[in-house]
Structure 1
Amino acid sequence: MFLALPFFSSCDDNTSIGLALEDGSVKVLYTDTATVGVSTVYLDSVMTSGTGTMLFGSYPDAMTGEVTANSYFYIDFSAIGFTDASATYDSAELILPYSGYSYGDTTASMTLQLQLLEEILEAKALPPYIGTEAPNSYFYASSGLYNASSFKTESQPLATYTFSPRPVGRDSIAIPLPAALGQQLTELKKNGSSLLNTPNYAPLLNGFRISGMGQKVILGGTASGVKIRLYYSSTSATTTAAIHDFPLITGSTQFNEIKGNFSQTAFQELKRGKSISSSLTNDISFTQSGTGIMVKLDFPNLASLKDEMKLNLINKAVLEIVPVTNTNRYPTLPPETIVLYQSSKTNVPAGQLLKDFSGSEYQSAIYAPDMEYDMMSKYQFQITDYLTQLLSGNIENNGLLLAAAPESFISTVNRLCVGGPAHASNKVRLRIFYTKSF
């Protein structure tokens, strides 16, 4: 679509940001016919350690596949405090405070499993990108654990617990622990952490995994509040009830393993480190936090558009992201905020895209829902500077990657579905307002 706005006289100042103005009369025009290529990119891995958020459960999504989250963590059993030779065991439980985050159907019951690890939970260092000293992704770090990381668990769960999720209405989940573990913790309380060096206690130092079974929801927990609580009685003088908390160790050894299963969807050919065009996935692409999936946006015909339209100055360029209708309602709410990432030639996020003519602020767009008809729900970016630099040949045309803001991209699992260039009604649009001389 093209729209002509009133004529203007040109001025002698050619220092305006954009392509060079020529002498003569000019007209301000508008087009939204520039093709935006859309594909789905599955990043090799995304660091999820040290976020302070625990994710556990699974959600089966008919359009984009099932997403599963398992949380791994250490408990600090050396935090004994003082010994108490008279302590007798009463009970023990794992306490998981809700973070308030959930994704999926919270009305169904949920079953959690707590398992001991058979190998030590430790951070890993990824090799730097070939030829440099820096990692080759915005979501890598020199040492950490990733959504694709996993550790072998004991075959039998330490505890299994079924409950009704209340992520807003309750403070925490309390999982009863077996008496055998409680007795071990009581012995630690009585005799000190030297017992951790003995064979029967050593597995406690490997770490734990919390996971869901056959779920319809993923819940979030606050890592800093997680603890194993020992209830015991002290009979040194009179019998009194007491508690001792063994806290979670926060940092790089607390992470979430997050996996997507696309086998029953249009995205069944999607593999880690690869991309797939929306033309092969029913003209739809998606980004999902946690799993490391982003939408790739390409601008393949900008050079020919510049020649055909003979534009001299880009006044404004607006990138409009419209969720595919009926994919953005409860229980699959889209991210509240999305951002644009600069892409390498191999579809790896190199960093966030800066706002127009800014040296420090990043591009971001807040979701504006159409609560009545869901026809006008959208996100909008102004990318005038980026487009001008592309047309001027100052930067490479590697396209952009679209996903949630970094802090959400590594600690939630919300997804956003967008239409490709052939989608009937919800395709990504690039609206360009430009000046043309005559």
Structure 2
Amino acid sequence: MTLLRLLCSILICSCLFNCSQEDEVSNFIVGEEFTDSNVRVIRIDTLSVDLSTFKLDSITTSETGRLLFGQYNDASLGKISTTPYFELSSYTYSISDAAVLDSVALILNYDQYFYNDTTQLMQMRFHRLNEKVKPYDSDFYNTSTLSFYDSPIATKTFAPRPNSDSLHVSIPFEFGNTMFDFIKDNTSDTEEFVQEYKGFTLQIDEASDGSVIGFSTETDSTYLRFFYRLSDDDEDTEYTYDLYITESSDIPKHFNRIQSDVSGLPLSNLTNQDYNLSSLDSNNESYYQSGVGYFTRINFPSIRKLYEIEGQGTVIDAKLRLKPKIHSYNDNLPLKDSLSLYYIDQNNSITEQVSNSLGEVMSTIVESVDGYDDVYYEIPVLQYIDRKLIQSPLIDDAIILYHADYNKSVDRMIFNDMYENEGAKLILTYAIYDTN
């Protein structure tokens, strides 16, 4: 912090007078022991804030620790559907030849993540893959997919209970027994097993309109369990054998395909990453949705108008207020408590996280005492403002917000721009000093 900025900050803490226009100023006469200049501090909230939406070409969704499953319709962001793909195997393959299978079940433990209406029934189809869970490069993405056999192994219609323990899917005995016999008779290692049973996927019924839920990928949370028995002295002893999602340091063993059908909506214009959909062309709104890859792009095109203010000056503080659209959030579609701030370049590639002397810059959510509908995000943007004021040549870069779970969730937010319902607003505290 410069000496002037520090001095003015001290002055502001003791006697800041707020003004809503650039020509409404308050004078501070500073003692000669500090400076022989007159310092005026003004509040500026009339500079323009441009919001637009862009879409990342792809997001890495492998090895996130969560299987995302479900589908719902959103009036602004279209039909959102999520499909998990995963390999099931084991670290050991040893079952007695005398073992007799009783039943098989797919156990999916909820990880408590959900989005949208969980009171609606879902139909899950459990399919076998006909290609290995192996990416073309090092990762799978939200756009990745793998082929699977048309006929499902099993189906399950259920009402999701994300705060309960698990979902139990019964597997037909014939399929389970064939798999069980293969393990007993033929398999000595994982490679041999996955050559035959390459992987699995959970497909959602296309007519579903309910929610997206998360299942944990921990070995003791999601597994295919074989219940079998062994006879010893005319007594049966019951046992279990599990196949699960094993950990791997080099090849991902699970990923989520996350799709968004935006046919007929303004977002359908986003066909490549470097195209920005202005809020003026999307109902004075901008959008964020993790998993799918929509981000709100924020910049301040008129920031250099500060140079037109008479006298030399410096920005003491800068905050951006972003207001979510009223009625676009509720208990089923909650807002995130905080979001990280990042720089992006002119091609909408993320370059670095914004930080200051206190660490990573984060937004905070502020709720009015008058009601839930007056919620807004407050974001410190002083570092970005300083950057734009000295940037030469001027670059069409910007800032974005996103949450750490952006690659394993489908949370979304709709923001009002500066022209809609007291929407986006940049609030500057600006100190002017006239050198004698």
TM-score, normalized by length of structure 1?
0.86
The corresponding residue for 2:417 is: 420
Q: Does 1:322 align with 2:323?
A: yes
Task: Find 2:216's aligned residue among 222, 225, 243.
Answer: 222
- 1:122 maps to what in 2? 134
Go from structure 1 to structure 2 and tell me whether the alpha carbon gap of 1:209 and 1:433 turns closer, same or farther (over 3 Å shift): same
Q: Distance in 1 between matches of 2:74 and 2:68?
A: 17
After superposition, residues 237-252 of structure 1 pair within 5 angstroms as 237=233, 238-251=235-248, 252=252
Q: Displacement, 1:217?
A: 0.4
Shift of 1:394: 6.6
Report the AA paired with residue 283 of structure 1.
N
Q: How does 1:86-235 map to 2 (within 5 A)?
A: 86-125=98-137, 143-168=138-163, 170-194=164-188, 202-204=195-197, 206-213=198-205, 214-224=208-218, 225-235=221-231
2:31 and 2:264 mapped to 1: Cα distance?
58
Aligned residues of 2:99 and 2:228 also touching (Cα < 8 A): yes
Post-superposition shift, 1:60? 0.6
Superimposed CA distance per residue, residues 56-103 of structure 1 (whole angstroms, 9 cap, x where no aligned partner) = 0011111221111111111015632x3311111211111111000100
Q: Quick one: structure 1 residues 197 and 40, their matched pair in 2 at CA, closer, same or farther if it must change by over 3 Å?
A: closer
Partner Cα separation in structure 1 for residue 213 and residue 381 of structure 2: 35
Q: What fraction of aligned residue pairs are identical, expressed as a percent?
A: 24
1:74-93 maps to which residues of 2 (within 5 A)? 74-77=87-90, 79-80=92-93, 82-93=94-105
What are the equivalent positions in structure 2 for 1:367-386 lying under 5 Å apart? 367-370=365-368, 373-386=371-384
Cα pair 1:147 1:290 within 8 Å, conserved: yes
Query: Quick check: 2:344–2:400 contact (8 Å CA) kept in 1?
Result: no
Map 1:20-99 to 2 at 5 A. 24-77=37-90, 79-80=92-93, 82-99=94-111
2:15 aligned partner = none
> Residues 306 and 287 (structure 1 numbering): CA distance in 2 closer, same or farther, change over 3 Å?
same
User: Residues 382 and 311 (structure 1 numbering): CA distance in 2 closer, same or farther, change over 3 Å?
Assistant: farther
Counterparts of 2:152 and 2:369, CA distance in 1:
44
Going from structure 1 to structure 2, the CA distance change for 1:195 and 1:314 (only over 3 Å counts) comes to: closer
* SS of equivalent to 1:245: strand
Q: Which SS does the other structure have where 2:69 is aligned?
A: strand
User: Deviation per CA, 1:268-315, whole angstroms, max 9, x where unpaired?
Assistant: 222242321111101101100111111000111112333246551111
Q: Displacement of 1:396 after TM fit?
A: 5.3
Structure 1 pair 289–12 and aligned structure 2 pair: CA distance change class (3 A): farther
Distance in 2 between residues matched to 1:43 and 1:11, nearest whole Å = 55
Q: Classify 1:303/1:196 alpha carbon distance in 2 versus 1 (closer, same or farther; 3 Å).
A: closer
Query: 1:4 maps to what in 2?
Result: 25
Report the alpha carbon displacement of residue 334 of structure 1 after superposing the two structures with TM.
2.1
* CA shift in 2, pair 1:197/1:305, >3 Å: closer
Q: How many residues align?
A: 404
Letter in 2 for 1:322: K
How far residue 374 of structure 1 moved from its aligned partner, in angstroms, is 3.0
Offset, 1:353: 1.2
Alpha-carbon separation, structure 1, partners of 2:352 and 2:209: 35
SS of structure 2 residue aligned to 1:180: helix
Secondary structure of 1:239's counterpart equals strand
Q: Match of 1:351?
A: 352
RMSD: 2.4
Deviations 1:227-259 (A, max 9, x none): 100011212432222211111124523111111
Quick one: which amino acid aligns to residue 60 of structure 1?
A: N
Query: Which one of the candidate residues 360, 371, 387 is aligned to 1:389?
Result: 387
Contact 1:233/1:239 (8 A) holds in 2 = yes
State the shift of 1:153 in Å. 1.5
Distance 1:12 1:254 in 2: 66
The answer to which of 386-395 and 234-243 deviates more is 386-395
Please list the CA deviations of residues 391-416 of structure 1 after superposition, one character each: whole Å capped at 9, or x if unmatched: 122795444342332x3111111101
Partner letter of residue 333 of structure 1?
Answer: P
- Cα offset, 1:429, TM superposition: 1.1
Higher Cα Rg: structure 1 or 2?
2
Shift of 1:39: 0.4
Note the alpha carbon deviations across 1:18-65, whole angstroms, 9 max, x for none: xxxxx6312100011111110001001111111101100011111221
- Please give the alpha-carbon distance, in whole angstroms, between the structure 2 residues aligned to 1:271 and 1:211: 26
Gaps of 5+ in 1: 15-22, 126-142
Counterpart of 2:17?
none
2:47 partner SS:
coil
- Are the counterparts in 2 of residues 31 and 433 from structure 1 also a CA contact under 8 Å? yes
Q: Contact 1:185–1:230 at 8 Å: present in 2 too?
A: no
For the residue of structure 2 that corresponds to 1:268, the secondary structure is helix
Q: Are the equivalent residues in 2 in contact too, given 1:341–1:401 (CA < 8 A)?
A: yes
> What is aligned with 2:7?
none
Find the aligned partners of 1:149 and 1:431 in 2 and give their Cα distance.
42
CA distance in 2, matches of 1:167, 1:430: 39
Cross-structure match for 1:400: 398
One-letter identity of the residue aligned with 2:336:
P
2:329 and 2:191 mapped to 1: Cα distance? Answer: 52
CA distance in 1, matches of 2:384, 2:300: 11
Cα distance in 1 for partners of 2:142, 2:360 equals 25
In the superposition, relative to structure 1, how do residues 313 and 195 fare at CA in structure 2: closer, same or farther (>3 Å)?
Answer: closer
Cα contact 2:68–2:213 (8 A) shared by 1: yes
Q: 1:156 to 1:226 in 2, by over 3 A?
A: same
